[in-house]
Structure 1
Amino acid sequence: MIQEKTVIPGLSTREAEKRMKEFGLNEFQHKKKISPILIFISQFNDFMVWVLLGATVVSGIMGDTADAITIIIIVIVNAILGFLQEFKTEKSLEALKNLAAPTCKVFRDGGVKVLNSLYLTMGDMAILEAGDRIPADGVLIEASAIMIDESLLTGESVGVNKDSSKELSNVFMGTTILKGRGLFKVTGIGMNTEMGKIANLLDNIKEEKSPLKERLESLGKILVVICLIICGVVTGLGIIRGNDVREMFLLGVSLAVAAIPEGLAAIVTVALALGVSRMLKRNALIRRLPAVETLGCTSVICSDKTGTLTQNKMTVKEVYIDGRIYELDREKLTDSNYLKKVFIYCNDCNFDFKQKNIDKSLHGDPTETALVKMFYKEVSGLKTFVEKAKRVYDIPFDSTRKMMSVIINENGRETCYVKGAPERLIEKCSFILEDNKIKPLTFQKKKRVAAFVEAMSSRALRCIGAAYKEEGLYKNEKLENGLIFIGVAGSIDPPREEARDAVLKCKIAGIKPVMITGDHKNTALAIAKSLNICNKDDQVLTGDELEKLSDKELNVKVNSIRVFARVSPDHKLRIVRAFKNNNNIVAMTGDGVNDAPAIKEADIGISMGISGTDVTKEASSMILMDDNFATIVAAVEEGRVIYDNIRKFIRYLLSCNLGEVLTMFLASLFILPNPLTPIQILFVNLATDGLPAIALGVDPPNKDIMRQPPRSKKESIFARGLSEKIMVRGCLIGICTLLAFMLGRYFRMDLSTCRTIALATLVMSQLFHVFECRSERHSIFEIKIFTNIYLVGAVTISVIMLCSILYIPFLQGVFDTVPLRLKEWLIVLFFSGIIAMINSIYLFIKSRY
């Protein structure tokens, strides 16, 4: 609590809106966005499309106008599908960037509001706290031990101390509060800030390619070469046999366009973007796309306790004072004036005395507000108490010291009030307040206090000690020595119900949930046992014990530890490294500025969306919008689902494309007529490659997705037999299509009918196969078909397209097809469905026995 905060009205909403209209929003001038028209045109900027259009022009010149027009229509339809994918992705990523924008605490309408910094305007009064990135240029109105990292502007890595004096009061957008806190008035926004002048250096949001996308692009280049060689062989063999050169050239180009999986990397981006959108709905904001891939590999989740595993709704239950424990549910405190002063004056709550409800009038950390509400249920009484005093100096709380101190002036008399971790505080105390008398704090009395704290902690209470000193020796290193110990407040933060289920889900999935907290060992252990994170006392390691271990010893011990208590942010970095040295993929949460190194070191750095600082968010790969452990587990599940779905459509696309190439290659090898015409090949590509593949990218998770162990981060996308599945199924699609074509020839059907049978068999084979691709472990019989309505819709559209070119007279002429009768359909359904049926029966029997 800084006293001045209680009387600063700030701008009114109406005045702020007026100034935003006058001065604009607090933003830099963005690069010109790519227009939808340019996105559409870019779909034609592909080598194979150029070749196809060139071949089409040649066909048109040589008189095949119908073929040329049809090919152009197919190219345009493909471009439209590609445009829709890319445009949706751009929109999704832009929305995510806006969500990731920093926020700030501002005084508006007499109270504190959390705003997107975009809406900060000239004259606003904003609060600065350790870890915040300053949202605009301004002047400090008040400051408490503020140090700012201005290296972004000056290049100097040493922090700069600031105060409200004229010489040192300026603060600048983009710089970071290293420690302390304060209040500043906005004097420059957007392009009128120092950072605005060098805005191009602050374009922090980069378009990152995921490693998987890069690997698939490399694979695509290899496949292009292989496909072009095969297409060249098919074309060459046709020409050698005396086929028309122009027809064989167009056939080769069409086959290349159909065979090359040019959409593979694009669909990966779409799958990742859609997955990120789904995660956002589950309150996990992904800042970097590569994190989505890594999430599915997570084997250890290191989580904060307060607010993440617990509800962050603190209530003081017990108080130790005058040698005894008061249970506040049943009895009232007596003679607690000094305790009240410590917990209300030495407090960083912001008080809004315009509110009548005590809950609405307090803004700040739940522990801080709980300490205030322990004494006051009415705002009027609290206001009278607070207005008696003025804070003149303070040393903010930090996670290393684990204490906070303030100097308060009451009627001209200065008193130092201190609160903090009882074991740290008691080391600084020389006296104890008993029966309102100051007495020496002997060794025996210290042991007695420690025993009471131990007992309170074992009941899952978070203990905070209180002390004071009646002399105004501030700005002095002796300020926190020779204190008078008052007592301890024990508050409880109940575990989240959903966290218990999430922990169980982790264990089933082969993921180790680990609690990391600054709380007392016993408090942490009690919460951890209630959540089933651990069940043995020896699974807990304290910060002091960790200090005594070498890195080598910690590497050996870390795998058996499930709770780290009384740890500092520096310890977190060692914990992450120890887990990583044991070949774990580590997710680490944090909120404070000092957590940033550990978050950056972790494979998945996770910052808190509610309590996290800007520094931590910048260092993280993912932001928890609700600070909830269950959201981490949900994100890991989504990461697995996304990776699983990517494997599904890679399996589908490559096996289908392989089947198309083999159909034509084997026909040339066995000196058979071409089973498909160029237009028919392009139709297969249009009908089967686009919508069904995208629909697989949004397939719901298999029911056992979180019953599988984490995969290795180095695992190839084709691991666990995927390459074999692609090769075998692709060969079978090609062979079955060719057999259907040859059977038509055997029954002396005309060439157009045989080609129509081959076309229908190839399309239907791929549409049956798309349902097989929904699971690598379960058969079609075990998968509920209608759980992916998008896939059912995509397959339905593809079947309608196939029937259209078979039974609509105009399209029959364009695609050189004939209507199939029952006998021909039996051939099609037998050869297209037999392999899927045999494979499904095999998987069904395998899963049962």
Structure 2
Amino acid sequence: MFIWEALQDLTLIILMVCAAVSIGVGIATEGWPKGMYDGLGIVLSIFLVVMVTATSDYKQSLQFKDLDKEKKNIIVQVTRDGYRQKISIYDLVVGDIVHLSIGDQVPADGVFISGHSLSIDESSLSGESEPVNINKQRPFLLSGTKVQDGSGKMLVTSVGMRTEWGRLMVTLSEGGEDETPLQVKLNGVATIIGKIGLAFAVLTFLVLMGRFLLQKALHSNITDWSFSDAVTILNYFAIAVTIIVVAVPEGLPLAVTLSLAFAMKKLMNAKALVRHLSACETMGSASCICTDKTGTLTTNHMVVNKIWICEKSKAIETNDSKDVFQSLIPEKVYSIFLQSIFQNTGSEVVKGKDGKVSVLGTPTETAILEFGLHLGGESAHYKESEIVKVEPFNSVKKKMSVLVSLPAGGFRAFCKGASEIVLEMCDKIIYTNGESVSLSADQRKNITDVINGFACEALRTLCLAFKDIENSSKDDDIPYSSYTLIAVLGIKDPVRPGVKDAVRTCLAAGITVRMVTGDNINTAKAIAKECGILTDDGLAIEGPDFRNKSPQEMKELIPKLQVMARSLPLDKHTLVSQLRNSFKEVVAVTGDGTNDAPALHEADIGLAMGIAGTEVAKENADVIIMDDNFSTIVNVARWGRSVYINIQKFVQFQLTVNIVALMINFVSACISGSAPLTAVQLLWVNMIMDTLGALALATEAPTDGLMKRAPVGRNANFITRTMWRNIIGQSIYQLAVLLVFTFQGKRLLKLTGSDASKILNTFIFNAFVFCQVLLLILIYSFQTTDCKMADILFIFIVFYIPDIQ
């Protein structure tokens, strides 16, 4: 199939016709087998070009299949063999119990077992935008749909191609990758040059035919035609075809594909999975990165670092013994505190086959549960009360609530979440004796100061609260007021090693880094300063303040904006839109949650987290950062810049070769009636140039110097003035050398005899090849925009003169 596609090239079809005619005429004029040499030479060149192209395309398709498989490799949490574990979606089997939460993709068809407020978006299958509520009356879940709200467990009933989604996929043919913007731009360049080449070819053929007819009219009867005249016209046609072959830079798209595929493979080894081919090159032009905090700038392994309870703050060390942990909590508050941890959670304490206890869930929930275990609590002890209603955490409410029925009768509501939101819901506080007392204005102010103090130490703060309800039923909503505050937790998420250096690299490269997070502004500012994002003249703002600004006010503050805290998904989306539309910046956005999907989709490059990211976030991203590390994002930008520079180098190389070859044959044909470079020779040069030349230049690894340049603008010309200067200067130099030998070669080299022309043409071809080899070395050695004409001319003279002599 790939060989057949390669044979569809118009230039190759013309060459095949030319080869057939050349073989026929050659045998008729020079006999067998001498008459076949030229024709067979063209056939061999066509064969090599087709095989190289087909093999390259085939290998590329295999690589994309591997990337596609990796892209669809979703990690799911299941209960199997009696304990909860993480497995690949490819290992999922009928009978597994899958745990689902907000943002997850349903990995197989199954039946709902249990859950709370589970709402499924089935638009990918049904086309209906209205979410479907899953419960015991409507228990069926379908593969490929997404969890919009709530949580639950499902029993897998069918997997793979036997699912509803699988049956749908069987009926669809797999679509290919879209062309990247750079490929589109280069295809346009190739088309224009091809048209110029065609015009030159037609002009050359007309000039040669005009000269031939004029000579025939002057020196013989124009009506007398012989077989040799037909051969001469055929040679003129071959010269015209040769000019077309040389002019069409068919290696440009191949060079882009090679460079991008090479970069994708290297990035995959460096923990970055590129989902869309264009993201590689676009990331090289990024002028702004809007990053979240947790998991990207930080390690995403949280631990409870401080606790405020019963009006006392206490620091916690991870190496403290269980007795030390237990002494932190007053005895009469101990039970209610552990209930608030173990009953109001979306995570789970699991025991593996080896008996080792671990916690599965989000990093924040995991930190709280681990703290509860250190206090001597056991989740099983606090599961006796039935959980009758759950409001899972989401980015709008910024809290999670549960309603449980008490063994003695009545209900109790637990709530945890963003400190200022939960504190606003509380009107009481628990004391050391376990009793709830009214919360005074001074106490509220004191607690606010504690929260701000924790935040200034780069701690994420959460409040735990409860409320006893006597006159209620299972159908009532979970209350939103009159809670009793239990404790304020300060959770530490250390900054990742290397992040500060990575941010410094971005700033040196002209890439502005902005942190957008849902955290408290003091926490956000502390982390941003630690990472080097927030500077003295930078601006930190809260989401509500940002969204209330007028468009004009936004335009004034965005250039200084470095940190946005307590942001909603819409705030992040608005910021990205403003940066792209008003400031014409190329924006990269990182995200891990379902709420980040709109901003990821709006950005030029969406970067989803591979570990903490939900399937919705990954699906809307262009690149998946497999290790959730900001340093990996900088590596993607470095490779993106390398791709752009490498393609510029190849374009400079190929255009110089094309211009020289086209002009030498055109000028020579018009003046002398023959071309020094034959079709076979130029096909050979083209094949080497389009494959090995592209491979050499398009697969060069990035250097640190690339991150000391300003990013390429959105509307910047691909072929820069410096490149044009180098191309034209190099072309003039090569043409001067080759034309001198074309018209004065026999005299300079003192060639005589019947084979003088063949020796001269061989010399010209070798000089032409040496020019291109040295040109390749020069372009490989110099950065495109740093290459100076004086250097080029000096090295050309030093290297060429001995060869010429």
* TM-score (norm. length: structure 2): 0.88
Corresponding position of 2:543: 543
User: Greater shift after overlay, 410-419 or 252-261?
Assistant: 410-419
The equivalent of 1:761 in structure 2 is 767
Tell me, what secondary structure is at the counterpart of 1:135?
coil
In structure 2, give the amino acid aligned to 1:713: R
Identity of matched residues, %: 29
TM-aligned CA distance change 1:730 to 1:780, over 3 Å: closer
Query: Hey, what does 1:385 align to over in structure 2?
Result: 381
CA deviation profile, 1:59-116 (whole Å, cap 9, x unmatched): 1112221122222111111122212221221111111111111522222233333333
Distance verdict in 2 for CA 1:427–1:233, change over 3 Å: same
Residue pair 1:429, 1:481 contacting (<8 A) in 2 also: yes
Q: Which amino acid aligns with 1:643?
A: Y
Question: Which of residues 776, 780, 784 is equivalent to 1:770?
Answer: 776
- SS of alignment partner, residue 763 of structure 2: helix
**Where do 1:443-454 residues align within 5 Å?**
443-454=441-452
**Cα distance, 1:776 vs structure 2:** 1.6
Matched, 1:830 2:792: no
1:331-351 CA distances to partner (integer Å, 9 max, x unpaired)? 541323322221222122222
Matched, 1:319 2:291: no
| The one of 400, 404, 428 aligned to 2:400 | 404
Give the Cα–Cα distance (whole angstroms) in 1 for the partners of residues 677 and 124 of structure 2: 62
The yes-or-no answer on 1:568 pairing with 2:576 is: no
- Report the alpha carbon displacement of residue 389 of structure 1 after superposing the two structures with TM: 4.2
Shift of 1:752: 1.6
- 3-state SS of the aligned residue for 1:374? helix
Change in Cα spacing, 1:197 to 1:690, as seen in structure 2 (3 Å) is closer
Contact 2:288 2:586 in 1 (8 A): yes
Report the Cα distance in structure 2 between the residues aligned to 1:231 and 1:69, rounded to whole angstroms: 23
Q: Out of 113-122 and 554-563, give the one that drifted further.
A: 113-122
* Residue type of the alignment partner of 2:250: E
Give the conservation status (yes or no) of the 8 Å contact 2:338–2:377: no
Maintained 8 Å contact 2:538/2:562: no
SS of the aligned residue for 2:59 comes to helix
Deviations 1:6-26 (A, max 9, x none): xxxxxxxxxxxxxxxxxxxxx
Call closer, same or farther: CA 1:538–1:248 in 2, change over 3 Å: closer
Distance 1:756 1:667, change over 3 A: same
Give the 5 Å matches for 1:302-451.
Answer: 302-329=290-317, 332-335=327-330, 336-354=334-352, 361-377=358-374, 382=378, 384-409=380-405, 411=407, 413=409, 414-435=411-432, 436-451=434-449
Q: Shift of residue 197 of structure 1?
A: 4.2
Residue type matched to 1:770 in 2? Answer: L
SS in structure 2 of the partner of residue 392 of structure 1: strand
The secondary structure found in structure 2 opposite 1:346 is coil
Task: Report the 3-state secondary structure (helix = DSSP H, G, I; strand = E; otherwise coil) of the residue aligned with 1:448.
Answer: helix
With over 3 angstroms needed to count, the CA separation of the structure-2 counterparts of 1:767 and 1:682, relative to structure 1, is: same
Partner of 1:312, secondary structure, is coil
The 8 Å contact of residues 737 and 831 in structure 1, kept in 2 or not, is answered as no
Question: 2:11 — aligned with what?
Answer: 48
Identify the residue that residue 41 of structure 2 maps to in structure 1.
Answer: 70
Q: 1:270 aligns with which of 258, 267, 273?
A: 258
Aligned partner of residue 784 in structure 2, secondary structure: coil
* AA at the equivalent of 1:286: V
The alpha-carbon deviation at position 386 of structure 1 amounts to 4.2
CA, structure 1 residues 218+579, in 2 after alignment: closer, same or farther (shift >3 Å)? Answer: closer
Alignment-mate amino acid for residue 526 of structure 2: A
Deviation at 1:375, TM superposition (A): 3.2
Shift of 1:743: 4.3
In the TM superposition, residue 673 of structure 1 has moved relative to its aligned partner by 4.8
In structure 1, the partner of 2:658 is: 657
Contact kept in structure 1, 2:537 and 2:560, CA below 8 Å:
no
In structure 2, how many angstroms separate the alpha carbons of the residues matched to 1:205 and 1:447? 60
Amino acid at match of 1:429: C
Instruction: Output the aligned Cα RMSD.
Output: 2.7
What secondary structure sits across from 2:372 in the alignment?
A: coil
Once residues 52 and 656 of structure 1 are traced to their aligned partners in structure 2, the CA distance between those partners, rounded to angstroms, is 20
**Alignment match, 2:284:** 296
For residues 151-166 of structure 1, the aligned pairs below 5 Å read: 151-163=123-135, 165=136
Matching residue of 1:135: 107
**SS at 1:455 equivalent:** helix
2:402–2:413: 8 Å Cα contact kept in structure 1? yes
CA–CA distance in structure 1, aligned partners of residues 46 and 653 of structure 2: 22
Q: Specify which of 81, 106, 113 is matched with residue 78 of structure 2.
A: 106
Q: Which residue of 1 aligns with 2:98?
A: 126
Q: Which moved more, 1:91-100 or 1:195-204?
A: 195-204
* Range with greater deviation from structure 2 (365-374 or 484-493): 365-374
| Contact 2:359–2:370, Cα closer than 8 Å, also in 1 | no
User: Relative to structure 1, is the Cα distance of residues 204 and 407 closer, same or farther in structure 2, using a 3 angstrom cutoff?
Assistant: farther
Instruction: Return closer, same or farther for 1:355/1:338 CA change in 2, 3 Å cut-off.
Output: farther
Aligned to 2:56: 85
Q: Pick from 144, 151, 171: which aligns with 2:141?
A: 171
Q: Are residues 393 and 682 of structure 1, via their aligned partners in 2, closer, same or farther at CA, if it must alter by over 3 Å? A: same
- Matched AA of 1:353: K
Q: Is the 8 A contact 1:656 1:733 kept in 2?
A: no
Say yes or no: does 1:61 pair with 2:24. Answer: yes
Query: Unaligned 5+ residue runs, structure 1?
Result: 1-37, 784-824, 835-849
Please report how far the alpha carbon of residue 739 of structure 1 lies from its aligned counterpart in structure 2 after TM superposition: 2.1
Q: Corresponding residue for 1:840?
A: none
Counterpart residue identity of residue 540, structure 1? A
* Contact 1:234–1:664, Cα closer than 8 Å, also in 2: no
User: Counterpart amino acid of 2:148?
Assistant: L
The structural deviation recorded for 1:614 is: 1.6
Moved more, 262-271 or 461-470: 262-271
**Any residues of structure 2 matched to 1:134-283 within 5 Å, and which?**
134-163=106-135, 165=136, 167-199=137-169, 206-242=176-212, 244-283=232-271
| Structure 2 partner of 1:585 | 586
Q: Structure 1: which amino acid aligns with 2:527?
A: I
Sort the Cα spacing of 1:350 and 1:87 in 2 relative to 1 into closer, same or farther, 3 A. same
Amino acid at match of 2:65: E
AA of the residue aligned to 1:559? P
Deviations 1:346-369 (A, max 9, x none): 1222221246676x5211222212
Deviations 1:650-706 (A, max 9, x none): 111111011111111122344375322333233332343420222101012244211
Between the aligned partners of 1:720 and 1:499, the Cα distance in structure 2 is 36
Partner of 2:68: 97
Task: Report the TM-score when normalising by structure 1.
Answer: 0.84
CA deviation digits over 1:249-277, x for unaligned, max 9? Answer: 22322332233112221221222222222
Instruction: Give the aligned partner of residue 220 of structure 2.
Output: none
Is residue 405–residue 480 contact of structure 1 (8 Å, CA) maintained in 2?
no
SS, match of residue 83 in structure 1: helix
Q: Secondary structure at the match of 2:607?
A: strand
2:456 maps to amino acid:
S
Which whole-Å deviations, capped at 9, do the CAs of 1:387-428 have from their partners, x for residues lacking one?
A: 544433211011111111122345455422211111000111
**CA 1:238–1:564: 2 relative to 1, 3 Å:** same
Whole-angstrom distance in 2 between the partners of 1:555 and 1:212: 30
Q: Hey, what's the Cα distance between the residues in 1 that align with 2:483 and 2:712?
A: 54
* CA-to-aligned-CA distance 1:461-487 (integer Å, 9 cap, x gap): 111111011227454345232111011
- For the structure 1 residues 106 and 743, does the alpha-carbon distance in structure 2 shift closer, same or farther, using more than 3 Å as the test? farther
Q: Distance in 2 between matches of 1:321 and 1:127?
A: 33
Alignment partners' CA distance in 2, 1:565 and 1:637: 28
Deviation at 1:647, TM superposition (A): 1.0
Task: Describe the shift of the 1:437–1:782 C-alpha distance in structure 2 as closer, same or farther (beyond 3 A).
Answer: farther
Between the aligned partners of 2:726 and 2:797, the Cα distance in structure 1 is: 26
Q: How many residues align?
A: 752
Q: Which deviates more from structure 2 when the two are superposed, residues 712-721 or residues 44-53?
A: 712-721
Structure 2 Cα separation of the partners of residues 350 and 695 of structure 1: 53
Q: Distance in 2 between matches of 1:67 and 1:462?
A: 77
CA shift, 1:136, in A, is 1.8
Q: Secondary structure at the match of 1:156?
A: coil
